[in-house]
Structure 1
Amino acid sequence: MEKNLLEQSSKNGAGKVPFEGFDLTNFWKDSDYALKNYVSEPPTDELIASIEQELGYKLPASYIAMMKLHNGGLPINTRFPTEEATSWAEDHIAITGIMGIGCKKYYSLCGGVGSQFMIEEWGYPDIGVVICDCPSAGHDVVMLDYRKCGRNGEPEVIHVDQECDYEITFLAENFEAFIRGLVHEDFYDTSEEDMQEDLRKVAHEEFSPLLSELCARVTEVDNMEEIIRAICTRIVEEKGYFAFHADELSTLMYDLQFWLYTKSYPDTNRQQYLNAYEKIIAFGGSFSTGGYALGFISDWMDDRIRQGMIVGTNDALAFTDTAIEQLLEKIKVYGGRADE
């Protein structure tokens, strides 16, 4: 069956009518998260021309046709078979969403974590357009590859793996072939095993040296380590894996990490905290998400500053006393007891 999928993904090219005979009506999963972060209004011809000019590449006709029907979002089928192993799996890659044509949604071609951001800030090769984000939160992507066809030609679709020194894996001859080749996650279902492994990790693996240090200095609540493990266990139970995004529990962990760090290092400015962030949980040790998207952290911090919860000068930022009280109240449910 896997061989047939590979043959199908390489042979299905874009015809005269894009996606002829392919049911796009049941392609998307329109959750609240998808509608907020991915899905835009159908693009006008003027917007398409503007985005193409900004990116420096002509977008494939099949991609434009698809976006005019549904402009970005989370597909139901999120796995694509490969002949080579990647950091995700031995025989396939996974995507989270497909970026739409626009700039207003966070996950759109020219949005907050769009194509140019991933190339300029994450170091992905400047050979085309990033069109799909992946569950690794930035550590691998799917791109349109224009190296063979030129900036106005029909690009191939590739997977680029930052975890393996930006290794490139060929996926499909064109965008339509890529879409037709996507399969449901159940075809490669290891979710239960992965979830159990992440539950074990958050329950038992050692904290990073920095996180251990920060927890040891807390006097306001009992059992800070247990609180963190309890919150992260809830995250794994709800998502099926250990990662922080823009959801409520992830935001709670962003708040908690910031408070812990600035409590111990009160003269911390914005850039110093962003530099230190990855040493706390993201890449700090065995208890780790194994990656993070800087855009989530920056957006969280900007939101907290706008809300007046984080205050300070260019030299030092901190939570207000009210924000700290609210945070301590929130973590009580996870086993923390704020000292009277």
Structure 2
Amino acid sequence: MDQTLIEQLNRWHEEDEQQQIVDTLSAIPEEDRDYEAVGRLGRAYNNLGLYEEALAHLGTIAEAGERDAVWHYRVGYALFHLQRYHEAAEAFATANRLEPGDPDFEYFLQMSRGRAEKQLRQERRLAAKREAALQSGGSTAENHTPFAGMSLADFWEDSDYARKEYVSAPPTDEMIASVEEELGYNLPASYIALMKQQNGGIPKNTCFPMEEATSWAEDHIAISGILGIGREKSYSLCGDLGSRFMIEEWEYPDIGVVICDCPSAGHDLVMLDYRACGPDGEPEVIHVDQEGDYEITFVADNFEAFIRGLVHSSEYDTSDEDKITDLHNVAHGGFSPLLAELCANVTELDQIDQKIRRICTQIVEEKGHFSFHADERSYLMYDVQFWLYTKSYPDTDRQRYLDIYPNIIAFGAGEFSQGGYGPGWISGWLDLRLKEGRIVKEHGRIRFTDQAAAELIGRLKEA
């Protein structure tokens, strides 16, 4: 490619004009595109979320890219978002071997390996259940009285909100058949039995113990309510916020029926999963995390087991112990490799690590736990992380920063870590700082203004 075109592509990339890049490079005859052009085309497709297209183009230069860490990273990035985690891990491992120490390579390698292991366990479980269904004549449906020996008289929470948003009249057989036809699945007998007792609502017990961590917590998930059979209420199976809406509009996997919403306001939910049993069988219950590329986590073998396993939220009220642990970790816990690297590059003031620890100790003292939200001290820590990172990596654009942010503190590899975060908090902070003019965007790169950086350094000196 000539230098003029390269400079134009760089500007478009910095300004996040990915479609311009695709249109321009696609207009070049395929036989005239060199290695650099195809690589940039693959990157642009990745940034547009068109991962299959990215892989197709990157595959045409596979031989030339064999010794290029960036090519392997771009391939891995597409594979990761296509949930082909084992292949993604191999690509990121190669990139990391060719250019050791890159925080993006290390972060995605760690994430890919963890998800690949989880995906393999899931595939083995589903295969075993499919085999069991074949052995039993193709059906694993319930053949006993649902909830035998379990009293449901005190199961539901009675509130005006629950009655308004969730609870419908008991479903008739005609309504059940109509909803099943619309959804394309036979509902479990236990689900129908519970809905005939009360058709949707908020249970008194809203937590389910988990063996695997999710976006909600390390050891449990929480639900806001259970969707009833009908169309009248928003939170019913065929309501305007029901199962098909979440699948078609929020792009949750089309593998079953959404039965529970969660406190994240749509960013995770609970589903019936019919992949192993087919539309007429007895589905598993799964948790699906939108923030993690719709990552699926097994919850229970069937709906009745899920209901029987729900526990009260007080079972997980460990606030006093959590506060003690978090205070210890923010005071003494090891920083993530990336945070340690960024702190080592600071020359403007002394003991930046201790200043960070003091601010975070104040956050834990006030909140009782280590997390950043939309309060003053959290915003100060968002500012600190951004300043540290863009000092060391001045070519950072918006998307790169949002991608790398979790690897600084939120999911840091050391003890000084929150173990999770809400992406909306960090993007909201960034949008505010841009609107205020404290962060500026130049040729796609984002940075603090000199005045904003000086003000932040002044605050840190006083910390």
Sort the TM-score into its range (normalised by shorter chain): 0.5 to 0.7
Contact 2:206-2:222 within 8 A present in 1 as well? yes
Unpaired runs of 5+ residues, structure 2, are 1-145, 167-178, 228-232, 235-239
Number of residue equivalences: 267
In structure 2, give the amino acid aligned to 1:95: A
**Alignment partner of 1:191 is 2:327:** no
Describe the shift of the 1:314–1:224 C-alpha distance in structure 2 as closer, same or farther (beyond 3 A). Answer: same
| CA deviation after TM superposition for structure 1 residue 146, in Å | 4.9
> Normalising by the residue count of structure 1, what TM-score does the alignment of the two structures yield?
0.58
Distance 1:193 1:317 in 2: 39
In structure 2, the residue matched to 1:308 is 437
Distance 1:99 1:299 in 2: 30
In structure 1, the residue matched to 2:385 is 257
Contact 1:270-1:314 within 8 A present in 2 as well? no
In structure 2, the residue matched to 1:7 is none
In structure 1, the residue matched to 2:213 is 87
In structure 2, give the amino acid aligned to 1:227: K
Describe the shift of the 1:118–1:150 C-alpha distance in structure 2 as closer, same or farther (beyond 3 A). Answer: same
In structure 2, the residue matched to 1:132 is 262
Describe the shift of the 1:279–1:188 C-alpha distance in structure 2 as closer, same or farther (beyond 3 A). Answer: closer
Greater RCO, 1 or 2 (C-alpha within 8 Å, sep 6+):
1
Contact 1:198-1:236 within 8 A present in 2 as well? yes
CA deviation map 1:116-140 (0-9, x unaligned):
89867xxx78655472257xxx8xx
Contact 2:273-2:283 within 8 A present in 1 as well? yes
The structure with the largest alpha-carbon Rg is 2
Describe the shift of the 1:317–1:158 C-alpha distance in structure 2 as closer, same or farther (beyond 3 A). Answer: same
Task: State which of 417, 424, 429 in structure 2 corresponds to 1:295.
Answer: 424
Describe the shift of the 1:230–1:192 C-alpha distance in structure 2 as closer, same or farther (beyond 3 A). Answer: same
Describe the shift of the 1:131–1:311 C-alpha distance in structure 2 as closer, same or farther (beyond 3 A). Answer: same
Q: Percent identity?
A: 42
Distance 1:87 1:126 in 2: 22
Q: How does 1:1-340 map to 2 (within 5 A)?
A: 11=147, 22-25=156-159, 66=201, 78-81=206-209, 85-87=211-213, 93-95=220-222, 127-129=256-258, 131-132=261-262, 141-147=268-274, 157-159=285-287, 166-170=296-300, 173=303, 183-286=311-414, 287-328=416-457, 331-332=459-460, 336-337=461-462
Distance 1:320 1:65 in 2: 53
What is the CA RMSD across the aligned residues, in angstroms?
5.0
> Normalising by the residue count of structure 2, what TM-score does the alignment of the two structures yield?
0.44
SS of corresponding position for 1:145:
strand
CA deviation map 1:268-295 (0-9, x unaligned):
1112222322332233321222233433
CA deviation map 1:94-125 (0-9, x unaligned):
438679998xxxxx969xxx8789867xxx78
Contact 2:262-2:269 within 8 A present in 1 as well? yes
Contact 2:208-2:221 within 8 A present in 1 as well? yes
CA deviation map 1:43-99 (0-9, x unaligned):
9xxxxxxxx9xxx899999799659xxxxxxx99653356xx333799962438679
SS of corresponding position for 1:167:
strand
Describe the shift of the 1:192–1:156 C-alpha distance in structure 2 as closer, same or farther (beyond 3 A). Answer: same
SS of corresponding position for 2:406:
helix
If each structure's helix is expressed as a fraction of its own residues, which one has the higher value?
2
SS of corresponding position for 1:11:
coil
Distance 2:279 2:423 in 1: 31
| CA deviation after TM superposition for structure 1 residue 229, in Å | 1.0
